Amino acid sequence: MPGDFAATLARSTTDPSTKDQVDVLDLQHTWHPFTQMQEYASLPRVHIERGEGCWLIDTEGKRYLDANASVWTNVHGHHNADLDAVLKAQLDKIAHATYLGLGHEPGAQLATKLSKLSGLDRVFYSDNGSNAVEIALKLSFQYFQLTGQSRRRRVIGLSDAYHGDTFGTMAVGDCGIFHERFASWCFETERIPAPTCDELGGEVFDSSMKASLDALDAHFDKFGDEVASVIVEPWIQGAAGMKLQPRGFLREVESRCRQYGAHLILDEVFVGFGRCGPMLVGREEGVRPDFICLAKGLTAGYMPLAATVTTEEIYQAFLGDFGEYKAFFHGHTFTGNPLGCAVALKSIELLEALKQSGQLDLTIKAFEDFFRSLREMLPETFGLSQRGLAGALDLPPGDPDERRGLHLCIALRERGILLRALGDGLLIVPPLVISPSEIEFLKEGLIQTLQDKAFIQ
Ligand SMILES: *Cc1c(COP(=O)(O)O)cnc(C)c1O
């Protein structure tokens, strides 16, 4: 057992007064995602007990602004009265019944709502973003087999893409150290360079997508009738550190997919449900993809629910007598969980009101002003990018092994702010209902912590 971990554990178990019971159990028996546990055990730990609006409250009663919206999921704040009420009402009926061959009202209602929002027709539920993508990939693959085009098996993805951590999604992603260890187990994917642009405070500075589209054209020229799908995170590659995509790119990709008969898969797991303003980004751009993958904000960050939305044409190809074995043999035990569907429906209703009232636009404007003022206050060596309520602050170039981002986040906790770093970048993604005074609190805390840590004067 690594030294730090053993020492911390020994200290915690022999002297429970210094660490509460949760911490002891946590250190003894849990294994956290995307976490070097030796490092985790050696640093101060926070255990969340409650939530209130944009705030999280730990087991010692300390309050923190949830500045990454509990990993990009939270929409209307925690412990939202309307969402809680809907969940409790659903709980009074039933918590879960299988969706394998049985239906329920929240599932039917939500599918109808998602079809209206997307302009597509059919909803296949699952329980996380990776699965939503995995399902789109498998549906696309099987569709071409069922329609006499079994040569179509290739998938084209973007550089720096992130679509999840299951094998299919690792294969189509391009996440360096996250996934390269498993590369030999992954199917081959064609990759084109992701187009980028700079955007700050609502202004777009530079945008180029020619190289990206040229590469796409080259792949289509070479493999035209072998391409099953092109998969894109529209507008923002979140896990790449908030890499922004020029507007108009999706339309160009869509027209090539149509020309060559390939599917377009939009992974809106991060950008969907108001994160950038629009309910759905592809729709905003006038693009009609063959698949849309939804998760994170779908249930306002309340429940693990995901959806893959597709067209009637694709659905029809899977119909036939049972013995033709055209059915899609894929499903998860908790697919279409009624609690998740009920809370998602309510969240979408609240989100529509938030947009219609103009409040979401005002919040985005305040967030843009926040980033614009960071640009004025911070030296040029800091990288900044922002679109909608998604932003990144990159520290000046340095040694990644120093873990500067992580230590900055630990220091931010002292000032009542919870963030998670990605390497030397801080990804700032608040709940959609963050208030101007909370944005101000975030700004002050960030600037003061950068001063405390001697990143700025
Ligand atoms: C988070 C994310 C996923 C994976 O979702 P999980 O629910 O974590 O499996 C997929 N694609 C994008 C764009 C994401 O941001």
Contacts of 192 (CB under 8 A, 6+ apart): 156, 157, 158, 159, 212, 215, 216, 219
Through-space distance between the first and last CA atoms of the chain, rounded to whole angstroms: 41
* Contact (Cβ atoms closer than 8 angstroms) between residue 389 and residue 434: yes
Tokens of 19: 């660490």
Three state DSSP letters for 144-193: HHHCCCCCCCEEEEECCCCCCCCHHHHHHCCCHHHCHHHHHHCCCCEEEC
CA angle 48, 293, 53 (to 5 degrees): 30
- pLDDT score at 2: 45
With a 6 Å cutoff on the Cβ, whether 267 touches ligand 1 is: yes
235 lines ligand 1 (CB under 6 A): no
Rounded distance between C-alpha atoms, residue 111 and residue 328, angstroms: 18
Distance from residue 307's CA to the centre of ligand 1 (Å): 12
- Please work out whether the CB of residue 308 comes within 6 Å of at least one atom of ligand 1: no
Cβ–ligand 1 contact at 268 (below 6 Å) = no
Burial zone of 317 (CB within 10 Å; 0-12 exposed, 13-18 middle, 19+ buried): middle
Task: Say if ligand 1 is within 6 A of residue 168 CB.
Answer: no
CA–CA separation, 345 and 299 (whole Å): 8
pLDDT in tens, 164-223: 999 999 999 998 888 889 999 999 999 999 999 887 766 666 667 899 999 999 999 999
- Report strand pairing: 306-310 vs 122-126: antiparallel
Ligand 1 pocket test target in 163, 178, 291 with most atoms within 8 Å of CB: 163
Residue 3 has a pLDDT of 45
Is residue 171 a contact partner of residue 184, using CB atoms and an 8 Å limit? no
Please indicate whether residue 269, judged by its CB atom, sits closer than 6 Å to ligand 1: yes
Answer yes or no: is the C-beta of 128 below 6 A from any ligand 1 atom. Answer: yes
Q: Please state the atom number of ligand 1 nearest to the C-alpha of residue 237.
A: 13
> Which structure tokens are listed for 165?
């951590």
| Ligand 1 mutation target, pool 68, 70, 72, 130, most atoms within 8 A of CB | 130
What is the position in ligand 1's atom list of the atom closest to the CA of 268?
13
Q: What distance in angstroms lies between residue 51's CA and the mean position of ligand 1's atoms?
A: 23
pLDDT in tens, the chain (457 residues): 444 545 545 554 444 434 489 999 999 999 999 999 999 999 999 999 999 999 999 999 999 999 999 999 999 999 999 999 999 999 999 999 999 999 999 999 999 999 999 999 999 999 999 999 999 999 999 999 999 999 999 999 999 999 999 999 999 999 888 888 999 999 999 999 999 988 776 666 666 789 999 999 999 999 989 999 999 999 999 999 999 999 999 999 999 999 999 999 999 999 999 999 999 999 999 999 999 999 999 999 999 999 999 999 999 999 999 999 999 999 999 999 999 999 999 999 999 999 999 999 999 999 999 999 999 999 999 999 999 999 999 999 999 999 999 999 999 999 999 999 999 999 999 999 999 999 999 999 999 999 999 999 8
Cα–Cα distance for residue pair 291/128, rounded to 1 Å:
16
CA of 163 relative to ligand 1 center, distance in Å: 6
164 lines ligand 1 (CB under 6 A): yes
- Side-chain-facing half-sphere of 111: CA atoms under 13 Å: 20
Residue (of 19, 33, 27, 35) closest to 1 by Cα position: 27
